[in-house]
Chains A and B, each alone.
Chain A
Amino acid sequence: NAGVTQTPKFQVLKTGQSMTLQCAQDMNHNSMYWYRQDPGMGLRLIYYSASEGTTDKGEVPNGYNVSRLNKREFSLRLESAAPSQTSVYFCATKTDTQYFGPGTRLTVL
């Protein structure tokens, strides 16, 4: 079992470029989450999905979109990247507790 996987591990973008961060899980969990963690800071919730086909905003949703097309995958899209979106992005699933992916380190120049 891979658990929660994220791709890519690292990415550098220029301001205004777009990209999609991918998250997949093989644990058959219904709930999935996207967090961002700025250097030396805590985890802030961007979006979450309670089940396939549903998504809801978290604490900091502006500048992001998400898609939950099936139970396994929950993607995060940046339509027009900004330097303020430089961060480490963690995907997580939840059953009785949360399980985190390894993270994607994104730099926007």
Chain B
Amino acid sequence: GENVEQHPSTLSVQEGDSAVIKCTYSDSASNYFPWYKQELGKRPQLIIDIRSNVGEKKDQRIAVTLNKTAKHFSLHITETQPEDSAVYFCAPFVMNRDDKIIFGKGTRLHILP
């Protein structure tokens, strides 16, 4: 089955600086790469995703980059703000294949004032 790892497990950055979280996966057939944000006491919510036919996608201050050869993708947050403090998860899978979807263990992001 899919083996998913996230690094780092905890990340502290000064407000206004950038943050990068990396997700590595083992299933080379994976072709959908989402990032979820989970605020304290709430459900995970999709913030950005990328499909394997593109290498980068950007949405305002967040972006996702994909390296299919190396089997990893990364979440980039620029100009970080206090509301970016949360836990972020990756969960890559194969679209149109009904299979288990495994989450990375999460990255706790702290934005320091």
Tell me how many residues of B have a C-beta within 8 Å of chain A: 20
- Residue A18 at the chain B interface, CB threshold 8 Å: no
Q: How far is the CB of B15 from chain A (nearest CB, A)?
A: 23
Query: In the complex, which of the residues A43, A44, A48 contacts B44, with contact meaning CB atoms closer than 8 Å?
Result: A43
> Which residues on B sit within 8 Å (CB–CB) of A30?
98
Bound-complex Cα distance A90 to B43 (A):
8
Q: Which of A40-63 contact B (CB under 8 A)?
A: 41-45, 48, 50-51, 56, 58-59
Measured between beta carbons, the chain B residues less than 8 angstroms from A35 are 103
Asked if A1 is at the interface (CB within 8 A of a chain B CB), the reply is no
Of A33, A42, A51, A103, which one neighbours B101 at CB under 8 angstroms? Answer: A33
Choice from B34, B102, B103 contacting A97 with Cβ under 8 Å: B34
Residue B91 CB within 8 A of the other chain: yes
Rounded to whole angstroms, the CA-CA distance of A84 and B100 in the bound complex is 23
- The tally of residues in A whose CB lies under 8 Å from a CB in B reads 24
Interface contact B46-A98, CB-CB below 8 Å: yes
| B105 and A42 contact, CB distance less than 8 A | yes
B67 within 8 A of A: no
Closest residue of chain A to B46 (Cβ to Cβ) is A97
A48 surroundings in chain B (CB, below 8 A): 100-101
Q: Which residue on chain B has the smallest CB distance to residue A57?
A: B100
**Given A41-B106, A98-B36, 16 additional A-B pairs, CB 8 A:** A35-B103, A41-B105, A42-B104, A42-B105, A43-B89, A43-B103, A45-B102, A56-B100, A58-B100, A90-B44, A94-B101, A97-B46, A98-B44, A98-B46, A98-B101, A103-B43
